[in-house]
Amino acid sequence: MSILYLHGGAYINEITRWHWFLIRQLVREVPARCVVPIYPLAPSGTAAEVVPRVAELARELIAEAAPERTVVMGDSAGGGMGLATSFRLRDQGLPQPSRLVLISPFLDATMSDRRQDALASRDTMLRRPGLVEAGRLYAGSLGLDDPRVSPIYGDFRRLPPMTVFTGTHDMLDPDSQRLAAQAREGGVPVDLHEVQGAPHAFPVAPTAQGARARASIVEACQRSV
């Protein structure tokens, strides 16, 4: 099996050691070959440039390993990028991976869901102004509501099954709820793991919550074969 892993960091931060710990677990326990692109960060790398390049990499992996043996996975900004990649594959008439695994995905750079207001005091990692600025840098000349930047505004038909992880202390939790509802409405199977009290990107963290989520991620990948 091949896994295309897209790291988070609000499109402006590099991959961290915690990402590598998750990737190591995937390699050992799925087991899988993990391809981890170190994509150009905003503002040098913008959605109009990065998404097509990642989609081309996904196309190559799917052609090499077969669709049923390929998973696209990402956390936070990488989760949004993974969904945008799936849109592009579909729109080009190309095969999809067997599954998308999205961890606390950053799906809406407009940060306009008012439910996020109530979560701001619980989220110890994210702040709306910083996310809006990061989204603006990643958008470049595109609008913040362009699906390449904010895939929550995309067309959810004819996409692969999704496994989504989110926590109720994550400011982006409402976006994952919207994602699940819109994908199901478009006929896409969604396995939504919403964990009470969990923070942003908790499956990547060295905690008991994270360990349980990582075990579920391994299982989701194994089921996809």
Q: What is the pLDDT of residues 92-115, one digit of tens each?
A: 999 999 999 999 999 999 999 888
The pLDDT value recorded for residue 124 is 87
**Closest among 150, 160, 8, 11 to 74, alpha carbons compared:** 8
Give the pair of three-digit tokens for residue 60.
């190559």
| Section 172-198 average pLDDT | 97
Per-residue pLDDT reduced to its tens digit, 59-91: 999 999 999 999 999 999 999 999 999 999 999
User: What is the pLDDT at residue 164?
Assistant: 98
Token pair in block for residue 128: 């709306």
pLDDT of residue 72: 98
Which residue carries 């190559």 as its tokens? 60
Is 137 within 8 Å of 42 (Cβ atoms)? yes
Three-class SS of residue 195? strand
> Roughly what angle, to the nearest 10 degrees, separates helices 17-29 and 208-224?
40
Question: What is residue 117's predicted lDDT score, i.e. its pLDDT?
Answer: 84
- Return the amino acid letter for 141: S
Query: Length of the chain, please?
Result: 225
Of the pLDDT bands very low, low, confident and very high (cuts 50, 70, 90), residue 119 is confident
Q: What is the pLDDT of residues 8-61, one digit of tens each?
A: 999 999 999 999 999 999 999 999 999 999 999 999 999 999 999 999 999 999
pLDDT of residue 48: 98
Residue 225 scores a pLDDT above 80: no
**Residues 195/208, Cβ–Cβ less than 8 Å:** no
Task: Give the rounded distance of the alpha carbon of 132 from its chain centre.
Answer: 17
DSSP state of 163: E
| Architecture category of domain 2-223 in CATH | 3-Layer(aba) Sandwich (3.40)
Displacement of CA 219 from its chain's centroid (Å)? 18
- pLDDT, residue 121, reads 85
Listing DSSP states for 95-141 in one string gives PPPSEEEEES----TT---TTHHHHTTT-SS--HHHHHHHHHHHHTT
Going by pLDDT thresholds of 50, 70 and 90, the confidence category of residue 120 is confident
